[in-house]
A = this chain, B = another copy of it.
Amino acid sequence: MTTVIDGKAAAASVVEAVSAAAEKLETLGHRRPGLAVVIVGNDPASHAYVGAKSRMAKQCGFNSIQHTLPEDTAQDDLMALVASLNADPEIDGILVQLPLPKHLDSDPVIQSILPEKDVDGLHVVNAGKLATGDMDTGLVSCTPAGAMILVRQIHGKDLSGLNALVIGRSNLFGKPMAQLLLAANATVTVGHSRSRDLPALARQADILVAAVGRPEMVKADWVKPGATVIDVGINRIDAPERGEGKFRLVGDVAFAECKPVAAAISPVPGGVGPMTIAMLMANTVIAAYRRAGQTAPKF
């Protein structure tokens, strides 16, 4: 029987641990964790994400503050807001929702966040800490951190002797995921659009992680029998069978055909997706503990 990895349940368990940790921080005499979420403009999808993050932060018992800036906000004004949040002693985590409107340059904004408040794990200092294996003072990008929790559910903490293939080499996911797998002692290969014979590479992987944004690219004959398959893709495809103009979400893995070959597989939706927001909460409580001079919980 193939294990279908339940990302919702795993995320709920992280959120429960975060809430308990937030409560414990108050009993230790500190204030509750503070998360500032910044959104610029009117993109409906971004507002939906930000709304979900703010609700989840409240559910975790955080002090959650949302800053909504108009579409025509100037770069300097956004930078000034980040600077004030950096200086705010009540704020442990700062999240600037991406993408920003086109006239704004996101990288200087992200790099201006204090690394210890960068709960999205996007600052170059956090990338460098992850790249050099410093897990004790850095903050790890949320989606790979969440995907690793799913991998650990199946294989435990030590991946010695296991071959992992990460398909995709983005800064947001592929590269940090490879570093996390390597830190857990896996033998890690990063494949991508310029790789020769991805199916053959995939067939050698005990842990196959797909993050390319190509609907159902990974087929049954790519999967090593008994492998763990982690699907990070979220692709909208037309679903005329559901009615005109309707769509459905699929991953980068052809789930139905790969499931019988794998020993464990994460579905889309309901796999890695819910973990991202849970790990944002985890990073925020970690940042709050560190700021309070307390030993941060591990997730």
Binding site for B on A (CB under 8 A): 123-134, 160-163, 169, 171, 175, 178-179, 182, 185, 187-192, 194-196, 201
A129: chain B residues within 8 A (beta carbon) = 124, 127-128
Docked Cα-Cα span, A187 to B195, in Å, equals: 6
Beyond A185-B194, A188-B189, 5 extra complex contacts between A and B, CB < 8 Å: A127-B131, A127-B132, A163-B196, A187-B189, A188-B190
For the complex formed, measure the closest distance between the CB of A208 and the CB atoms of chain B, giving whole angstroms: 14
For the complex formed, measure the closest distance between the CB of A138 and the CB atoms of chain B, giving whole angstroms: 9
Contact A161 B195 (CB under 8 A): yes
Docked Cα-Cα span, A190 to B185, in Å, equals: 10
For the complex formed, measure the closest distance between the CB of A83 and the CB atoms of chain B, giving whole angstroms: 19
Pick from B131, B163, B187: contact of A131, CB below 8 A.
Answer: B131
A179: chain B residues within 8 A (beta carbon) = 131, 175
Pick from B125, B169, B189: contact of A128, CB below 8 A.
Answer: B125
- Measured CB to CB, the nearest residue on chain B to A124 is B128
Contact B182 A190 (CB under 8 A): yes
A128: chain B residues within 8 A (beta carbon) = 123-129, 131
Give the top 5 A-B pairs by smallest Cβ distance, nearest first.
A128-B128, A124-B128, A131-B131, A127-B128, A160-B194
For the complex formed, measure the closest distance between the CB of A178 and the CB atoms of chain B, giving whole angstroms: 8
A191: chain B residues within 8 A (beta carbon) = 187
Contact B127 A171 (CB under 8 A): no
- Measured CB to CB, the nearest residue on chain B to A165 is B189
A178: chain B residues within 8 A (beta carbon) = 190
A130: chain B residues within 8 A (beta carbon) = 131
Question: Known contacts being A131-B131, A134-B124, A182-B169, is A187 close to B190, with CB within 8 Å?
Answer: yes
- Measured CB to CB, the nearest residue on chain B to A161 is B196
Docked Cα-Cα span, A14 to B150, in Å, equals: 47
For the complex formed, measure the closest distance between the CB of A224 and the CB atoms of chain B, giving whole angstroms: 13
A195: chain B residues within 8 A (beta carbon) = 161, 187
- Of A128, A194, A201, the most chain B CB neighbours within 10 A belong to A128
- Measured CB to CB, the nearest residue on chain B to A175 is B131
A160: chain B residues within 8 A (beta carbon) = 194
Contact A187 B192 (CB under 8 A): yes
Pick from B133, B134, B163, B194: contact of A187, CB below 8 A.
Answer: B194
A127: chain B residues within 8 A (beta carbon) = 127-129, 131-132
Docked Cα-Cα span, A255 to B169, in Å, equals: 33
A189: chain B residues within 8 A (beta carbon) = 187-190
For the complex formed, measure the closest distance between the CB of A144 and the CB atoms of chain B, giving whole angstroms: 12
Docked Cα-Cα span, A158 to B178, in Å, equals: 21
Docked Cα-Cα span, A163 to B126, in Å, equals: 28
Docked Cα-Cα span, A189 to B133, in Å, equals: 17
For the complex formed, measure the closest distance between the CB of A186 and the CB atoms of chain B, giving whole angstroms: 8
